[in-house]
Structure 1
Amino acid sequence: MSFSPLIQQLIKSLRCLPGVGPKSAQRMALYLLEHDRPAALELAASLHEAVERVGECASCRTLSEVSPCGICTSSSRDRSVLCVLESPVDMLAIEQTGGFGGYYFVLKGHLSPIDGVGPDDLGIDALVERLRGGEVREVILATNPTVEGEATAHYIAEQVRELGVRVSRIAHGVPVGGELEFIDGGTLAHALAGRRSLN
């Protein structure tokens, strides 16, 4: 049995979401059509409005309805510290900790020559230009601890050092509450290399 063209189109559209395969998309589509049409209409309306109204902050490049965004216009944040991230979701994760009071710059990806993603695609020139203003004294590189994330952090560090701005990297290692016997070797190696003095 095959579904009607409209249902097939809905299933195909849902597959654009990360981690959603054919079966998951089919379950979602059928659930919305069979059990919760009002929610389906609300989802469609919210998605349409977000696509129409959400853009990019001209300063930090995160997703925002206004530009500059609320974080970039806040006068209570430390203008001398700039945290560089790969994506808006990373920015949300750091904000939820409540432990960072500086500003952000979102790359929207990482260097990946195999995928044709270079420095120009990530706005690194805009980042360097922002740092030339002289207001930022420290750049915190918070790219993901993947091969691409490390390469991106290294590349940015080289660009920033030429400007005389301090560069730091977020720590990687053993999670709080973790037990050493269950930690993989790569994570332990990072933790040992990034150890800090207690005295």
Structure 2
Amino acid sequence: MSLSPLLQELISALRTLPGVGPKSAQRMALHLLERDRTGAQTLAEALVQAVEHIGECQVCRNLSERERCGICEDGTRDRGVVCVLESPVDLMAVEQTGGFNGVYFVLKGHLSPIDGIGPDELGLEQLFTRVDGGEVSELILATNPTVEGEATAHYIAEQLQQTHVNITRIAHGVPVGGELEFVDGGTLAHAFAGRRSLKRSADD
């Protein structure tokens, strides 16, 4: 079937989105053109504005349209506790829990020599300079529990061994509501390695 060149261009553009195949892209394009042209216009304008004005926070490397993002500007956050994450979407996930009041540093990836991603691409010098500034008391390494994520966390920890900063790694284990028989061996091993005591200390 021969499609309009502009329609084909729209479908191809939608396919650049993660998880969107040719059929899904076609459905999206037809929906926008046939049923929601106002929504399509709003989407187009928002996308142009985002691409033109959203850059990188100069402190934490999170997405921001200002030099310092809202989190880094927030005076109520504990600047001594820095959580290191792989991506802005990980930051959003942590923020949604409402349980973390520190600040962040976003790597925008993980170490992967085969893909040409080294310390420079992750902004690690910027992170180390921030630690050397003396304000950071704890660095929480919250990279993903993948081979690359673990290697990245290990590299950062090794580079900062001689500093005063307390370096911690988030625990990985059995999900809340999960049953042991359905948990994979790697996750179960992490759960046992990261176990903690439930016995109260004498000071409690």
User: Do they fold alike, i.e. is TM over 0.5?
Assistant: yes
Q: CA deviation at 1:79?
A: 1.6
TM-score normalised over the length of structure 1: 0.97
Match of 1:37 in 2: 37
Match of 2:152 in 1: 152
Match of 1:11 in 2: 11
Match of 2:131 in 1: 131
The aligned amino acid for 2:177 is G
C-alpha distance after superposition, 1:13-52 (max 9, x if no partner): 1111111111111111111111111111110001011111
C-alpha distance after superposition, 1:31-85 (max 9, x if no partner): 1111111111110001011111111110011001222111111111112111000
Q: CA deviation at 1:151?
A: 0.7
C-alpha distance after superposition, 1:94-128 (max 9, x if no partner): 11111111110000111111111111100001000
Q: Please show how residues 28-107 of structure 1 align to structure 2 within 5 Å.
A: 28-107=28-107
Match of 2:176 in 1: 176
Q: CA deviation at 1:164?
A: 2.7
> Which stretch shows the higher mean deviation, 13-22 or 157-166?
157-166
Q: CA deviation at 1:186?
A: 1.1
Identity level (%): 71
Distance 1:48 1:80 in 2: 36
The aligned amino acid for 2:113 is P
SS at match of 2:120: helix
Distance 1:24 1:114 in 2: 32
Tell me, which stretches of 5 or more residues in structure 1 are unaligned?
none
Tell me, which stretches of 5 or more residues in structure 2 are unaligned?
200-204
The aligned amino acid for 2:156 is I
SS at match of 1:109: coil
Runs of 4+ in structure 1 deviating by more than 2 angstroms, as ranges, are none
The alignment yields a C-alpha RMSD, in angstroms, of 0.9
